[in-house]
């Protein structure tokens, strides 16, 4: 049975939710599911913007059939060739042999890589940055968004209704619950953290490319943003665009501290918890402590983009960094984290080496300051080392105020 919603009088949301998938991209936990959004424009010509993931194909095709109501499908615009959006392209083109594929050269190449469609050239309408397509009442302008977060990504700006189809940008983890508009939920308190986790983990590496797209978007009069995951934005666009401006500039949102510790038998955890208490005693609010073996790195990466100061505490393991901390730090390197203050604590029963190696990894991050002194435990925190934790807490407080 169809489950469509009108976005405007002639634009239909054909998306579908997956609440069964455990890991998005087989990496990121999605305890609240995920939505795959597809949109159908019903103008003199009909235009489908993207398809969906294979997991929700049945809902998608029922929605499409209902929304078309017997009309033919003139165009499919492909913004992004990742299979969570293009998986149903081959099936769609088998059902709708009348449809022309609107895409750029790179997308066409990827279509040929993913599928054996052998479409004749005339089935493609090649587009590039600055090209337009008139569909009757609407004029669609195409905007290149390379590396947000794949090279072929395009966005479409509907100049008639001032709608930006933004591909993955402005997406959010989490299924939609009937309400497809961000203004229909208390977004900041209930969904912002999942928008941040989505952005930072999926797109976070490509800050400069996102900034380029934001610059282009700044020149457009945008009344609505329709992303491929999560909510449609029709109010408070400055709020989410402002968040993207910060995240893509690697600018912290909050002058706060996140402590991410790894601990094998609880001794490093003990030092991390004591540091959290020392910070609280000094008036630092909203300190967050994470055990890297308990909390999935995607949550800590998201938090690392949010706050200005990070503490990593880790045992030495195989003469290196405790494995889950090592993984987290490498992930943060891969995601290009910048502009942070960092404090380090390590532990080692016979040769504490982790702090030096953590500092070496963090040295790859732009504009990050590693506070001195680093605290180094020998097996367990001793009374006489409390003073070192106090010094580290003072240095963090100073950094927060600076």
Only segment of 59-67, 79-87, 280-288, 339-347 that touches ligand FEO (CB under 6 A)? 79-87
Choosing from 85, 138, 196, 335, the residue that interacts with ligand FEO (CB under 6 A) is 85
Site for ligand FEO in 213-232 (CB under 6 A): 228-229
* Cα-Cα end-to-end distance for the chain: 58
Helix (H) or strand (E) holding 279: helix 267-281
Closer residue to ligand FEO in complex, CB, 92/228: 228
- Minimum CB distance to ligand FEO, residue 170 (Å): 12
Q: Does 45 bind ligand FEO (CB under 6 A)?
A: no
- Minimum CB distance to ligand FEO, residue 85 (Å): 6
Choosing from 82, 88, 256, 303, the residue that interacts with ligand FEO (CB under 6 A) is 82
- Whole-angstrom Cα distance, residue 80 to residue 82? 6
Only segment of 76-84, 91-99, 318-326, 364-372 that touches ligand FEO (CB under 6 A)? 76-84
329 CA to centre of own chain: 18
Q: Does 18 bind ligand FEO (CB under 6 A)?
A: no
Helix (H) or strand (E) holding 154: strand 154-158
Q: Does 89 bind ligand FEO (CB under 6 A)?
A: no
Question: What's the sign of the alpha-carbon dihedral 324, 327, 332, 335?
Answer: negative
Choosing from 168, 256, 346, 388, the residue that interacts with ligand FEO (CB under 6 A) is 168
Only segment of 12-20, 80-88, 330-338, 371-379 that touches ligand FEO (CB under 6 A)? 80-88
Closer residue to ligand FEO in complex, CB, 29/320: 29
Query: SS3 of 65, please?
Result: helix
290 CA to centre of own chain: 20
* CA nearest to 342, candidates 323, 363, 320: 363
Only segment of 82-90, 231-239, 317-325, 365-373 that touches ligand FEO (CB under 6 A)? 82-90
Choosing from 43, 50, 84, 303, the residue that interacts with ligand FEO (CB under 6 A) is 84
The number of residues making up the chain comes to 402
Query: SS3 of 378, please?
Result: strand
Site for ligand FEO in 190-209 (CB under 6 A): none
CB 126 within 8 A of CB 108: yes
How many positions of this chain bind ligand FEO (CB under 6 A)? Answer: 8
State the Cα angle at 186 between 185 and 190, rounded to 5°. 100
- Whole-angstrom Cα distance, residue 37 to residue 158? 17
* CA nearest to 227, candidates 8, 55, 373, 39: 39
- Whole-angstrom Cα distance, residue 185 to residue 277? 35
Of all residues in the shown chain, the one whose CB is closest to ligand FEO is 82
Site for ligand FEO in 100-159 (CB under 6 A): 149
- Minimum CB distance to ligand FEO, residue 228 (Å): 5
Q: Does 50 bind ligand FEO (CB under 6 A)?
A: no
- Minimum CB distance to ligand FEO, residue 171 (Å): 6
Closer residue to ligand FEO in complex, CB, 165/322: 165
* CA nearest to 267, candidates 313, 321, 319, 327: 313
- Minimum CB distance to ligand FEO, residue 55 (Å): 13
- Minimum CB distance to ligand FEO, residue 382 (Å): 49
Choosing from 79, 80, 138, 278, the residue that interacts with ligand FEO (CB under 6 A) is 80
Upper half-sphere CA count for residue 397 (Cβ side, 13 Å): 17
Q: Does 88 bind ligand FEO (CB under 6 A)?
A: no
User: How many CB atoms are closer than 10 A to CB 50?
Assistant: 26
Strands (E), 99-138: 100-103, 124-126, 132-134
Interface with ligand FEO (CB under 6 A) = 80, 82, 84-85, 149, 168, 228-229
């Amino acid at each position: 049975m169809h489950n469509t919603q009108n976005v405007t009088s002639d634009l239909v949301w054909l998306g579908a939710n997956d609440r069964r998938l455990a890991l998005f991209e087989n990496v990121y936990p999605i305890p609240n599911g995920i939505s795959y959004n597809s949109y159908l424009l019903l103008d003199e010509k009909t235009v489908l913007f993207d398809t969906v993931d294979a997991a929700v194909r049945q809902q998608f095709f029922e929605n499409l059939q209902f929304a078309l109501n017997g009309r033919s499908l003139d165009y499919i615009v492909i913004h992004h060739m990742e299979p969570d959006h293009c998986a149903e392209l081959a099936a769609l083109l088998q059902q709708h042999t009348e449809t022309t594929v609107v895409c750029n050269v790179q997308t066409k190449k990827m279509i040929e890589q993913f599928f054996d469609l052998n479409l004749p050239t005339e089935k493609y309408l090649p587009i590039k940055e600055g090209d337009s397509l008139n569909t009757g009442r609407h004029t669609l302008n195409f905007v290149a968004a390379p590396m947000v977060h794949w090279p072929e990504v395009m966005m479409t700006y509907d100049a008639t209704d001032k709608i930006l189809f933004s591909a993955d940008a402005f997406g959010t983890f989490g299924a939609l619950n009937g309400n497809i508009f961000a203004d229909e939920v208390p977004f900041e308190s209930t969904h912002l953290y999942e928008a941040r986790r989505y952005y930072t983990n999926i797109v976070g590496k490509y800050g400069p490319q996102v900034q380029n797209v934001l610059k282009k978007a700044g020149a457009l009069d945008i009344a609505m943003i329709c992303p491929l995951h999560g909510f449609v934005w029709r109010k408070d666009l400055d709020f989410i665009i402002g968040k993207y401006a910060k995240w893509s500039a690697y600018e912290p949102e909050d002058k706060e501290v996140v402590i991410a510790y790894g601990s094998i038998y609880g001794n490093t955890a003990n030092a991390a918890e004591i540091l959290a208490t020392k910070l609280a005693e000094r008036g630092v609010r909203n300190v967050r402590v994470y055990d890297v073996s308990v909390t999935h790195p995607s949550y800590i990466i998201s938090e690392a983009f949010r706050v200005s100061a990070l503490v990593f505490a880790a045992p030495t393991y195989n003469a290196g960094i405790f494995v889950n901390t090592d993984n987290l730090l490498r992930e943060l390197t891969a995601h290009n984290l910048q502009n942070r203050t960092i404090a380090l604590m390590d532990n080692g029963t016979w040769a504490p080496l982790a702090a030096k190696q953590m500092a070496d990894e963090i040295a790859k991050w732009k504009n990050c300051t590693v506070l001195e002194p680093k605290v180094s435990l020998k097996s367990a925190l001793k009374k006489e080392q409390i003073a070192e934790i106090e010094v580290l807490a003072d240095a963090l407080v100073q950094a927060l105020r600076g």
